[in-house]
Copies of this chain bind each other. A is one copy, B any other.
Amino acid sequence: METNILIVGTGGIGGYFGGRLQEAGATVSTVSNSDFETVKQYGYDIKSIYGDFTFKPVEVVKKANDFSKKADYLIVALKVLPEIDTISLIKDAVSTETTIILIQNGINIEKHIYQQFPNNEIISAIAYIGVRKTDPGKIIHQDNGKLIIGKYPYGKSCIARKFADLFENTHIPCKVVENIQYYRWLKLVWNIPYNSVSVLGNHADTKSIMDNEYSLNLIKKLMQEVANCAEKDGYKLDDNVIQENLDFTSTLSPYKTSMLIDFENNRKMEIDAILGNTIELADKLNVNIPHIKTIYALLKLVNRNKVKLASDFSAK
């Protein structure tokens, strides 16, 4: 039986995972916009560390409503920005049988989708990958490719299991968990400090941040505040989580965060998905996070004159 997948948001993330799913035998279509003509004719040209390949979607449409099939899985790989109305971009392709999979950054980014489509299974997915679209139809995959997925808000899910099985024999390890929020918090422990400080620290790569005693100390405080939020939200992280993240980062080659790359390309940054939602939760849970609030305010100011969105509003 055919597995029909529609991808909305075909930047690096959407294009790359779509290509891998097609390789694995699924029938994958895309909503493409800025590079519609190129993709319709040539598909996505993907340069990957595991070998280059072409991903030619079965259908390439300009909007969800033009999709002729019934999506078993609708993968959302859009950026999470106040300017992007995800619901209106996907709703015409969501049927009663459609599972919605969100491969996106941040915390509490599933809620409005969950409320809008109460009868659909929502799978929340976190990608650990270095991939980006460089030109229309051109994607470069540079590093990693792991997925962690789980039913939103939490729990066991046969559908998540079935979706993960599609990745068997691909280059994408896909782990299914019952407490995806825990993993979102875990990722924020790294994402909030490094993304923010790299942008606010005047184009600081990971090494510059780690080498400066003041920013290193700030990173630790930010991590602690994220861990405090997680704990009050019911997800106690391991006591070693801060030290492990610091140690891990020290082993990396000097590296620009994705938010810094957005900043340098004059693109809107995902400040609200990553920091704003954390602050909203912290206020609700009465957690004191002044360091995160300070960098959030500064990033909101920095974001003021970023006008470009990524092509197709896509992640990466």
Contacts and interface: CB of A to CB of B under 8 A. Distances in A.
Contact of A301 (B202, B291, B294, B297): B202
Given A208-B304, A212-B304, A304-B208, A200 B298 contact: yes
Contacts of A304: 204, 208, 212
A296 B202 CA distance: 14
Interface stretch (A83-91, A176-184, A214-222): A214-222
B297 A214 contact: yes
Given A200-B200, A208-B304, A304-B212, A218 B298 contact: yes
Contact of A215 (B201, B218, B290, B298): B298
A197 interface: yes
- Interface hub of A204, A208, A215, A301 (most chain B Cβ within 10 A): A301
B200 A300 contact: no
B294 A212 contact: no
A295 interface: yes
Interface residues of A, number: 26
Nearest to A218: B297
Interface in A271-316: 290-291, 293-298, 300-302, 304-305
Nearest to A288: B290
A186 interface: no
A209 interface: yes
Interface string A203-215: 0100011001011
Interface string A144-168: 0000000000000000000000000
A201 B301 contact: yes
Contacts of A212: 300-301, 304
A215 to B, nearest CB: 4
B290 A197 contact: no
8 contacts: A197-B298, A200-B200, A200-B298, A202-B302, A204-B304, A212-B300, A218-B294, A218-B298
